[in-house]
Chains A and B, each alone.
Chain A
Amino acid sequence: MPERYPGYDVLHKRNSQSWNEQTRRVIDERLAIDPDQHRFFTEEEWPTIRAVCDRIVPQTVARPRPVPLAAMVDEKLHRNSGDGYRYADLPPMREAWRRGLAALDAEARARHRRRFHGLGPLEQDAILAAVQNGDVREHAWRDLPPKSFFTKRVLHDIVSAYYAHPTSWNEIGFGGPASPRGYVRMYFDRRDPWEASEARPGREERARRENARVG
């Protein structure tokens, strides 16, 4: 698939008027996350969460800076900074993840006699689909509702982490934090000079030129 925002890099805005000191600090911290660092997940859980992340948001295209998904989820759980709410049918965030990952591994062992990360992509997808549909066999789930765990924890935390990273912002043409500079031309099909330019058919070169000037 061709790039939708060719040549756009949200980090060009880093030293412009778009971002201030606070914004730079937050984004710098996010970019400094080591993909292998885990402080919440145990050595046992780590390969499992990495495998789950790879199936939920596969990053197949070679990227200079892939989103360190598992490490970002780990960071959130390590700081235990919640969303401000909890679904009544799920236990608190940390407990839900621990029990959910253990149940996933148990489910994989029951079906294929291997742990989740040892399976091929198709088998992994089949297990995740079963969890999504509530079609699980293993006792390890006990009172943890698999459907809710999948949509309210797995999808929610991993996808949120993905779209909190500048690499995905470049992919979707997002301008990052509007702080302090926000947007002026708030009308259909208008673009501020500091916004990403979309490569609609026939104007790819123009979009590339305009994206080179974003700052």
Chain B
Amino acid sequence: MSRADAALDLIANLALAGVAAAVVVRPKVVSRIASSPLLPKATALTRGAARRLRPAPAPPRPLARAKQKADELARIISRYAPQAQRRRQEVARSAGRRLNGSAAMLAFSVLADSAVEHYRGSFENRAMYTPLAAAALTLGASLFGAADARASKHVMRDTIYASAAAAGCAGLGFHSYNILKRPGHWSWLNLFYAAPIGAPMALALAGLLGRGAERVRDIRPHRRATVLGLPAGRMLAGVTAAGLAGTVGEAGLLHFRGAYHDPFMLLPVTVPPVAAVLLGASALHPHRTTHRLTRWWLRLTALLGFAGVGFHAYGVSRNMGGWRNWSQNVLNGPPLPAPPSFTGLALAGLAALSLIEEAETDA
């Protein structure tokens, strides 16, 4: 695959992401365009043009055909060779453990963030203790999973991850209710200052990625892990890309609330979206994307998550009274535990990417 093709592919994926955004933001306009009679005509025209442009495949010469057969045979033999199997299992086990690690990072972020923010909310509702318990359990299970060298899943971890995902989804309901019950209902003011709508999804993501980790490390001979019938690597890359996009939305909303008063506040709305698009492209078209760029961009995003804590600590120090007045400023200033969720997601993306690459080696 040439570099030009990769660039074209990236553009196509960006366009796809744009269309998806348009569907979400302006569904009416999109439906009007989709139902217009011009669309099928344009599609037929493009298809015809593409057919005419493509050169007819040359009939293979006999010798080449024999070589092709031999190559295919060699590939099948190597796929079932014990050495290849060992390598495949090793990649799966390591990716599974790294996914456990990324779930741990996300769970830690959720635990610390919900502890601080729900303490600020005076635990007004008993349900506000739920994310603390769920995230603490997820953190424990994930650390256990990351340390556990056995290549198999664990019922306990799997159950905890499932309950974390459920708790995250329930949290979305509670936070929506908190926004809707305030005067103004769905308004920017309430999206800025009521319960953050995106935060519970981080817990759901930790659960989903954790379940993915268990699926990946549960190795069966001659078979690659799947999630909902799709290859695990691509599926997890897709989930991670979506999670990154959601986290970018959350950071964008709150940094907009902060009026981007520091230019560095633009970083989380510029660096991770690129990672999300690259990773999404890898999930959709694994053979046609440059994994090296994706990998470096994910590493950059992971680094940004760490740097974000530093920036937020600086933000706390800039509030009146600085760190001496921590009991107000840690609650009022930028949330210290929020940025590492980017790190957690980027680590998950890297693990998913290595699964995709491994699947490509004998495709």
Residues of A within 8 A of B (CB): 17, 20, 179-185, 190-194
* Beta-carbon contact of A190 and B122 below 8 Å: yes
The interface residues of chain A, by DSSP majority, are classed as loop
The 25 sampled A-B contact pairs (Cβ below 8 Å) are: A17-B321, A17-B324, A17-B325, A17-B327, A17-B328, A20-B321, A180-B320, A180-B321, A180-B324, A180-B325, A181-B327, A181-B328, A182-B320, A182-B328, A182-B332, A183-B328, A184-B120, A184-B331, A184-B332, A185-B120, A185-B122, A190-B122, A191-B122, A192-B328, A193-B327
* Beta-carbon contact of A17 and B122 below 8 Å: no
Would you call B174 an interface residue if the criterion is a C-beta within 8 Å of the partner chain's C-beta atoms?
no
Whole-angstrom distance between the alpha carbons of A193 and B120 in the complex? 10
* Beta-carbon contact of B122 and A184 below 8 Å: no
* Beta-carbon contact of B120 and A181 below 8 Å: no
Contacts of A184 in B (CB 8 A): 120, 328, 331-332
Contact with A along B102-125 (1 / 0, CB 8 A): 000000000000000000111010
Would you call B306 an interface residue if the criterion is a C-beta within 8 Å of the partner chain's C-beta atoms?
no
Contact with A along B191-205 (1 / 0, CB 8 A): 000000000000000
CB distance from A14 to the nearest CB of B (A): 15
Contacts of B320 in A (CB 8 A): 179-180, 182
Whole-angstrom distance between the alpha carbons of A26 and B331 in the complex? 28
CB distance from B117 to the nearest CB of A (A): 11
- Beyond contacts A180-B324, A181-B325, A183-B328: 15 other A-B pairs, Cβ-Cβ < 8 A, are A17-B326, A179-B320, A180-B320, A180-B325, A181-B327, A181-B328, A182-B320, A182-B328, A184-B331, A185-B121, A190-B122, A190-B124, A191-B122, A192-B328, A194-B327
CB distance from A21 to the nearest CB of B (A): 11
Whole-angstrom distance between the alpha carbons of A128 and B198 in the complex? 62
Contacts of B324 in A (CB 8 A): 17, 180
Whole-angstrom distance between the alpha carbons of A20 and B324 in the complex? 10
Whole-angstrom distance between the alpha carbons of A183 and B120 in the complex? 11
CB distance from B237 to the nearest CB of A (A): 40
CB distance from B187 to the nearest CB of A (A): 16
Of all chain A residues, which has the CB nearest B324? A17
Residues of B within 8 A of A (CB): 120-122, 124, 320-321, 324-328, 331-332
Whole-angstrom distance between the alpha carbons of A63 and B121 in the complex? 36
Whole-angstrom distance between the alpha carbons of A89 and B122 in the complex? 51
Whole-angstrom distance between the alpha carbons of A191 and B321 in the complex? 20
Whole-angstrom distance between the alpha carbons of A191 and B122 in the complex? 8
Most buried by A among B120, B124, B328: B328
Contacts of A190 in B (CB 8 A): 122, 124
Of all chain B residues, which has the CB nearest A17? B325
Contacts of A193 in B (CB 8 A): 327
Contacts of B121 in A (CB 8 A): 185
5 nearest A-B residue pairs (beta carbon): A180-B321, A180-B320, A184-B331, A181-B328, A17-B325
Contacts of B122 in A (CB 8 A): 185, 190-191
Of all chain A residues, which has the CB nearest B326? A17
CB distance from A182 to the nearest CB of B (A): 6
Of all chain B residues, which has the CB nearest A194? B327
CB distance from A117 to the nearest CB of B (A): 46
Whole-angstrom distance between the alpha carbons of A20 and B332 in the complex? 19
CB distance from A212 to the nearest CB of B (A): 17
Could you say which of A181, A183, A185, A192 contacts B321, with CB atoms under 8 Å apart?
Answer: A181
Whole-angstrom distance between the alpha carbons of A190 and B124 in the complex? 9
Contacts of A179 in B (CB 8 A): 320
Of all chain A residues, which has the CB nearest B319? A180
Contacts of B327 in A (CB 8 A): 17, 181, 193-194
Whole-angstrom distance between the alpha carbons of A183 and B325 in the complex? 11
CB distance from A83 to the nearest CB of B (A): 26
Of all chain A residues, which has the CB nearest B321? A180
Whole-angstrom distance between the alpha carbons of A148 and B325 in the complex? 44
Contacts of A191 in B (CB 8 A): 122
Whole-angstrom distance between the alpha carbons of A182 and B325 in the complex? 9
Contacts of A182 in B (CB 8 A): 320, 328, 332
Whole-angstrom distance between the alpha carbons of A185 and B121 in the complex? 7
Whole-angstrom distance between the alpha carbons of A17 and B321 in the complex? 8
Whole-angstrom distance between the alpha carbons of A17 and B323 in the complex? 10
Of all chain A residues, which has the CB nearest B332? A184
Whole-angstrom distance between the alpha carbons of A185 and B117 in the complex? 11
Of all chain A residues, which has the CB nearest B322? A180
Whole-angstrom distance between the alpha carbons of A194 and B158 in the complex? 43
Whole-angstrom distance between the alpha carbons of A20 and B320 in the complex? 11
Of all chain A residues, which has the CB nearest B331? A184
Contacts of A192 in B (CB 8 A): 328
CB distance from A188 to the nearest CB of B (A): 10
Whole-angstrom distance between the alpha carbons of A182 and B319 in the complex? 11
Most buried by B among A185, A193, A194: A185
Whole-angstrom distance between the alpha carbons of A178 and B326 in the complex? 14
CB distance from A215 to the nearest CB of B (A): 10
CB distance from B319 to the nearest CB of A (A): 9
CB distance from B178 to the nearest CB of A (A): 11
Whole-angstrom distance between the alpha carbons of A180 and B332 in the complex? 13
Whole-angstrom distance between the alpha carbons of A42 and B62 in the complex? 124
